[in-house]
Structure 1
């Protein structure tokens, strides 16, 4: 088989809008994995909300999490690589969030921190629950024992459009991207799904032409353009479709399964 490493985005790609992984998609992935192809989930999610899907599919190997900021071994949960942020560089962003009542959280590879975690609304807790996350109280920078890999703000699309426009005028120490309609992420300047996938492919001795990637959003652009075959979902924005080599059906129509059947079986 030409493709030795296949990277799959999770939300909006592998999963339906109901956050479900279909039996048909799972069986197709298992069939290709049995032929020796490695699969890696390449997602904005944390390891705790990504590894369960790998285990559900009977896969080991690696996951690329936090939009490329951390790569983790599925079996041992060892951190293979992470792009650590300068926490003090986040102070002005946090001040902005406080002044404009914008919700934010701070992520290490395995934990998520929120100011006032104990007082979060049920709506906020339900949102985190969808991603299998339990927020912890954000300590001071001096008391953070693990490197920070991602800073995320959440809100309505119109609210985040303004945040993105405002922050785009700032001198950027970080990589800023829209990882979904309701999310903006800040990461280390060099962190991206494409950069992490490139590092993993090199570690596995697999050239780019033998890598396939499937995704649906702006945070997937770097991995779609790195891979020898980049496939965009039908539910992708036009810019993402334009950057891909091929387009498959939507996440609600088993687009991942159909792409894998077409290009790998």
Structure 2
């Protein structure tokens, strides 16, 4: 019996146009009515998923989200259960690396603001700020000061450029941090203890739900830690080959009622 469903947002919960399918809304609302917890697990901040939560009817204090790829666990009303940010020294190092190698980057702070010192702001960063309904600030680490709460850093650039530098960035920053390719245009750097799987483990313990009562649905490499934790792992047909290696079940794509298919197969009582 599945008591909690953890769902990635972009390219999983949302279709390729960034909206919720009607079939997705229907099965999630039905699951909630059957006392199943539905937890959105996203690289976005709360501000970037709140409108989807409202569409799904997930609005009360006893419902939760995992944001910033696991760096923050909070209620859908914003009450934080746990938070793990980047050290300021790592942020400064990433800033220097970005400017030296001409790779666009930004950080996301505890207030969901997108901040970069790149004066030529990447279109990827602009879209990221728009999707997250967040502010976009041009600031250096010095201007922000060491009291800044940096939740994560994101190398946000063209796919080909990130393909070229991914291994080098993992080698340079991966010793002390969690570095993951969250999407073609996003290579993220977070606190070493942060990932969706660890966050899901912390939340499930609070809710007294065991791993074999959890289904995780996703499409990318940053979803693999929650696949490793959950009892059932579902990967979208549009997901990456790396993610599909961890799938117990591959459902239809995010444009073809994949969420509905997974809920009907594993979650909903007849």
Report the TM-score when normalising by structure 2.
0.91
Give unpaired runs (5+ residues) of structure 1: none
C-alpha distance in 2, partners of 1:20/1:187? Answer: 27
Deviation digits for residues 39-82 of structure 1 (CA, Å, limit 9, x no counterpart) = 1100111110112211111113111001101112112x122111
Which residue in the other structure is 2:131 paired with? 130
Alignment check: 8 A CA contact 1:111 1:136 kept: no
- Aligned partners of 1:193 and 1:69: how far apart in 2? 8
In 2: Cα distance, 1:122 partner to 1:243 partner:
32
Structure 1 position 236, deviation (Å):
1.2
Is the CA contact (8 Å cut-off) linking 1:107 and 1:149 kept in structure 2?
Answer: yes
Aligned residues: 263
After the TM superposition, which residues 1-265 of structure 1 pair with which residues of structure 2 at under 5 Å, given as runs?
2-60=1-59, 61-75=63-77, 77-115=78-116, 120=121, 124-138=125-139, 140=141, 143=145, 145-170=147-172, 172-265=175-268
CA contact (8 A) 2:215 2:230 kept: yes
Alpha carbons 1:47, 1:110 under 8 Å: kept? no
Question: Within 2, Cα distance between the matches of 1:64 and 1:146?
Answer: 21
Contact conserved, 1:117 with 1:135, CA < 8 A, in 2? Answer: no
Instruction: Classify 1:124/1:209 alpha carbon distance in 2 versus 1 (closer, same or farther; 3 Å).
Output: closer
Distance of 1:202 and 1:43 partners within structure 2: 20
Unaligned runs of 5+ in 2: none
Equivalent pair of 1:221/1:240 in contact (CA under 8 Å): yes
TM-score, length of structure 1 as denominator length: 0.92
C-alpha contact 1:68 1:192 (8 A) present in aligned 2: yes
State which drifts further: 88-97 or 190-199.
Answer: 88-97
CA, structure 1 residues 36+104, in 2 after alignment: closer, same or farther (shift >3 Å)?
same
Q: 1: CA distance between counterparts of 2:90 and 2:128?
A: 27
Write out per-residue CA displacement over residues 76-101 of structure 1, whole angstroms, 9 at most, x where no aligned residue.
x1221111221102323221210122
CA RMSD of aligned residues (A): 2.0
Greater CA drift, 125-134 or 223-232: 125-134
